[in-house]
Each structure stands twice: as structure tokens, then as C-alpha cells.
Chains A and B, each alone.
Chain A
Amino acid sequence: MIAAYLVLLIPFAGILFFAFAGHKQETGRLNVRFNAVTLAATVWLAINVLNNGTLLSSGKAFIVDSFNVYLIVLTAFIGLTTAIFSAPYMAHEKQLGKLTEKRLKLYYSMYQGFMLAMYLVLTTNNMGVMWVAMEGATLATVLLVSLYRTPESIEAAWKYFILCGVGIAQALFGTILLYYAAVQIGDGDNALLWSVLFDNARQLNPEILEIAFVFMLIGYGTKIGLVPLHNWLPDAHSEGPTPMSAVLSGLLLNDALYAVVRNKMLVDGATQSNLAGLLMMGFGMLSFLVAALFLHRQKDIKRLFSYSSIEHMGVMTFAFGMGGPLATFAALLHMTVHSLTKSAIFVTVGHAAQLAGTQNMERIRGLIKTQPKIGWGLLIGTVAIAGFPPFGVFTSEFLVLLATMHSYPWLAPLLLLGIGIAFAGLFRHIQPIVYGEQPEGQLPIKANLWPVMIHLALVLWLGLAIPDFLANWFSQATLLISGSMPL
């Protein structure tokens, strides 16, 4: 359990350190080190869980099981690679005069704050604390979205703040209802602990939990970016600094979905029906289709990929909602590969936008000619996210499709159609960006593409062969969520 405390303490120390030490030349590299140490702690934690099974801290305040431990490692990993990318990127933004030292201090401090909130969402055993941490993540990122202080970024941050704040308030109402149902069967102090609730899920009042779940789905769904509550997401992604888009897409959306799935497990236990799952399927499918259509009319490159995030979150919500071992396994795999691919894409997109000096796709052209590494990175990333074999996204989407054909065959054509539309939407924009005529006066910039290469290599690896320990891990998590083993 010490490892779990370390995972929380290191980012906390990071917030204080960056807030008080101020900004210096090497702050970016220190941020990398903070994240590297956290990653080491999470790996230690993962090994513990692998050897000993579910860990519950002595006061039952924290729980680490096979479901959240891989998300914790994934969070730390993406946190580290994004930090590696953000150090030179932010230094470049400062050179361009877009940012001051004070803002950079805020940026690094809040970067750690965001990571802390993410780890807290994942490790806590208390559904109330989970809500607090989720809201904390909003508060930590809201100033980062407006980091450039342009009227657009302030507007985006305000929208993000209000919509996510109001949305997530619904989740708190759901949590209160859950607590109300729990107090009726047990003592008040432990009534919000997930492990206690899960053990007694059958005794919880099903009617109250049904109502509670609707509120939770709306609340956390705002954060996942489910249509029609998605409006904040493209704005926040396009106006905030690019490293922020990478972690928002790669981590925050996952964690919100994680909160919904944890709640779904309780509701399923209480109602003994798939009502919660059907709701998730509906929202997921709607988000998937709407986002796929919206991909076509984007002009801003970061908005394009934020719609792609909504689309993929829709697929995951759909798959988790469908339930069943195969769909759950596919959803867990999709969570992993989407996070890896999407954060890699945002890294290249950030460099591409810096290179062209704009985010407008009509003016980013000929990347392969100007700086081949960035161009190829973007192209391969897009190929991967569009679901081409042999990348991991293909594998997981294929599994989702298989599960759909098995359980709800009439939904499979919709899913295929959506994948087709999204594929067309991505490539009609990306093709001229990477191959088109190179505009005058663009010079190569200093770019760190290691994160991209590592992420894409991992996604490729996951597509070709899932290593044994990971497959085993996903199977354990699937067993926990859906009650039976896949395959």
C-alpha cells in the first residue's frame, strides 16, 4: 500500500514545489523527473497487485484492484511522455512570447495538480471522494485552458468551467442518492465505500439506484464528452495548450468513464437487470455517430482530433454498456490504445501547429516535406486511430464489433457505418496536410518525437500481439466488471 500513498504524495509535492520554487530554465525537466518517479511508484504498485491481488488500505480509504491498477500505470505513463513533450514545447511558446514565466509556473504546478486529481479518482475507495477529485480535476485544468489569455481561450475555459461544473453537480446528486440507499442498509461512516457497497449491492434499493445512475451518467458523462453534453470538449481542446489536450483526451475522459463503470457495477448488482447498460449504449452510440459526422466539417486541427476523442469515448461507453466479457475486454483494451494513440497524435499536432504558426487546417500543408518526422508521425497516428490493422485500435474495435454482432446484431451496421464515416472524415483532412504543397517560409522546429514513437510502437505491439501478463490483467479486470472471463 505504500506504493499507492507514494503515487499520491509525489504529485502533491510537485504542486507545492512548482508553486513555490517558481519558473526556471530547468523546470520542464524537473516536471519530467517528478512524473518519472511517479511512474516508477505505479509500476511498483502494479507488481504488488499482480502478486497479491486486490489491495485495500488499512482504513479502507483506498482500493487498488486489477481494474484500476492498469489505468493508474497508463495515467503515469502518459503523464510522463506528455511531460517529456511539454518541456521543449512550452519553452518554444515562451520564446514566441505567448507565455510569461508566471504562467509557466502556474502551468507546471497545475500539471501536477491534475495528475494528483487523476490518481485520486483512480485509487479512492470512497465514491464521494471520487466526485471531489473529479471536480478537482476540472478546477486544476480550467486555468490551463485559458493559459494564453486570448478572448477565445477565456471563452472556452468559461464554458468548460460552467458546463462541467453544473454537469458534474448532477453526479453529486446521484452520489447522495446512492448514499441515501446505502445508509438504509448499513452504518453511515462506511456507506460510501465502494468495496462495502459492492459486497452488499444486492441489498441496495434498486429503484433509488436506478434514479441515482441516471444522474451519475449525466454528470460524469459531461466529463466523458458524451453527446449532447460534449460542447465544452472541442473548445477546451482547441484553445488550451497542446500538452493539456493530450492529457485531457488521454486521461481525463478515461477516468470519468472509469467512475461511470464503477457505479454501473453497483447498479447492476442492485437491479439485476441491464438498465444501466442500455442507457450507456444509447448515449455511447449517439456520441459515436454524431462525432463521426462532425469530423467532416472541422477547420481547426485540434478540434478535429477532439471530435475523434468523443467518437472513441462513445465506442467505449457503448462497449461497457453492452456488458458481457468480450465487450468489456474490448472496452478495456480500447481505453488503453485510444489513450496511447490520441496523446501521441496531440503531440504531433502540437508540433505541426507550431511549425505552421496556425491551427487552421487549410494553412497546414506539406508536413512530410517540411519536417518528415512530424508528417509521418501524424500520418501513422491517424492511420492507427482510424482503426487500420495492424494497430491496436483495430483489434479493440473489431472485438467490439464481434460482441455487437453476437448480442445486438441489428446495431452492427450502425457501428460499421460510423467507423466508415469517421475514417473518411479524418483522411480527407489529413491527406493534404501531410502530402500537400509545402508553403513558403516554414522552417523545421526543435521537436521531441520520442513520446510519439514509443506510443505508436506500443499501439502497434498491442495490435500484433497482446503480451501474456497484460491479457491476463485485462481478463482479471473483465472478471471483476462483468462477472465472467472473456474467451
Chain B
Amino acid sequence: MGVFVQTVVAGILIGGIYALVGIGMTLIMGVMKIINLAHGQLMMVAMYITYVLYEYAHLDPYVALLVTMPALFVLGALIQRFLLNPLIRVEAILPENQVLMTVGIGMVLTEIARLIFHSDYKSVRPAYTSMSLYLGSIAFNLPMCIAFGIAVLLTIGLFVFLLKTDMGKSVRATAQNKEAALLLGINAERITVFTYGLGAALVAAAGTLLLPIYYLFPDLGGAFTLKAFVITILGGLGSTVGAIVGGVVLGISESLGATYVSMALKDAVGMVIFLLVLIFLPGGLKRLTKI
């Protein structure tokens, strides 16, 4: 019983960070109607920035959030503005051109990271990474708890932004109906640039929070891109609340899979769930929410 509870707790904590990964992806999907296949790679870039700041400027990873989020916001906005938006006007045989472009972008980001940092594993281990809080016999790993807390705060912040501010409402409007939004005077192109930046900033936060409990290498991006899909599909495309649920579900199922099935098949658990949801539950959990 103790092992089971411990596993679920670990799953929920990591799920909070996964939710952050998924929300970024789902925002981009909702507004641009594209799958962002460079999502994990953006996270990887943020992690390397965090790593460099820690290694050379001795900046705490949680302080580094203030650097990585704006930095990735700018990177994301630039990608959307100069690489993705021009494709809207292009006539191509395959409508998936933008998606394929993100594949190329992901590849280039990975290779640049490999060129600078080489393929070996890096990690950031401040003193507090090994500390744990105890509730009865259940351990709560401290950096995971901090990460979970910050992830929750960021998510709440995002919701307030989407629900209360003009910009947030414009983003939602564009996601719901682009033509109508255009007619009502929303500059859709600017919204897409902003949204991709926002998505990149959120996944940057996830990466920075994850670094103290994880390790880092250039190909990490690809693995997290896959995780991001699973989360978004679980939650239903374009649904932010769904992404949170999807993140937690993936966190718990991976955690249970690693404990009770095998470490090697941990990733397969996510993929199998993903396939089943794709086929039997199209739309995910979107029905439950309006956001």
C-alpha cells in the first residue's frame, strides 16, 4: 500500500510539470491548428539555458525561470513570425507543411545543442535536490514539490490571463473561430505570434523546473515532444483544462508503469494510452469544459 501511494504521489507531482508541457502545446494547437513537433526541443533549449546559468553564473534554477521564459517567448515568437506564418500563404500539395516545418526546426535546435554541448548527459544539482518532506511514511521530494507549486501558480496565472484580459480573450477567440475574430478586428497574425511565444515560454518553465530532478542531453527534446502529444490528445485538442488532466494522468500512469510493469516499458504505457484515446475517445476530455 505504501509503495502504491508513494508511486501515485510521485506521478501527480511530475504530472504538474507535464501539464505545463501540455498546456503550451494545446494553446498552439488551438490557435494555429497545427501540431508543434518542435515542442520538446524548445523545452530542451530552455533547459540548456538554465544549465549554463547555473554552471557559469551560479544562478538557482528557480531564479533562471525569469530568464528562460522571456528568452523562449522571444524565440517562439520569432519562429512563428518568420518560419510558420509565411507558410499560410503558400500553396502546397500537402496541407501539413507547417507541421513539417516544425520537424525541421526541432531537428535544427537539437543539432545546434549537440554542436555546442555535445551528446553527454548534464545535470543541475543544487544542494536541496536530495531533500524530502515526510508526511507519515510518504516522501515528498522537495524540488518536485517546488516545481509542482510553481507549475500550479503559472497555470492559474495563465487562466486569469485567458479569462480576464483583452489579449487572452483575443487568443481564445482566434482559437474558436479565426474568421470571426478577424472580422471583429483581431489581428490574427499577431495573435499567432504571441501564442507560439506563450506556448514556448510555458514549456520553457516546465523544462527549467524539471532540470533539478532530471538530466539533460540534446535528444531529450524528441522524447518530450512525444509526451506532449500524449498529454494533449488525452485532454482533447485545444483544451487547457484537459491538458492539466492529461498531464496528471500521464504522470501517474508512467509512474505506475515504472513501478509495476517495468522501467523499460514506461514510455510504451504512455503510447498505448495515447493510441487507445486517439481511436476510442476522439476529442479527449474536451466535453467537460468550455475553456
- Do A and B share a complex? no
Q: Which residues of B contact A (CB under 8 A)?
A: none
